[in-house]
Amino acid sequence: MYILNENEREYRHGDHGPKYLEKGPRMNFGLVQLLPGERVSGHVRQYMQESFYVLEGNVNMIVEGREVVLIPGDYIHLEPGEGHIVFNQGESKAKMVVTAAPFMDGDKVMLSE
């Protein structure tokens, strides 16, 4: 067992991007904070399933060509092979929980946009 407060980790880009509270060996568990106008490049996981739960703000996702707008309390699950783009078109930050399992380092493949 271990206990960790999210304040003990930093976002990848200072005040935004992902921050992982757990990265392997069985799953990833983290938070993603997107600033207004921020976009995460399109990618696909070949083996890992990903799930997102929106905590704050609105999150736009394009999954296999279909755009959805997620609001606080929304949960979305993506199976391996479902390419997606994540972005924040709102005027305030967006924050969500992200999980990916089973853990496999190097599983992310970037999509051409």
pTM of this prediction exceeds 0.75: yes
In a domain, 54, yes or no: yes
- Residue-level pLDDT at 113: 72
Strand 75-78 relative to strand 49-56: parallel, antiparallel, unpaired?
antiparallel
- What secondary structure, in 3-state letters, does 53-112 show? EEEECCEEEEECCEEEEECCCCEEEECCCCCEEEECCCCCCEEEEEEEECCCCCCEEECC
In a domain, 2, yes or no: no
Q: Which domain holds residue 13?
A: 9-110
- pLDDT digit of tens for each residue in the chain (113 aa)? 999 999 999 999 999 999 999 999 999 999 999 999 999 999 999 999 999 999 999 999 999 999 999 999 999 999 999 999 999 999 999 999 999 999 999 999 999 87
pLDDT at residue 61 in the model:
98
List the CATH number of the domain containing 88: 2.60.120.10
Residue 59: per-residue pLDDT = 98
Number of domains the chain is built from: 1
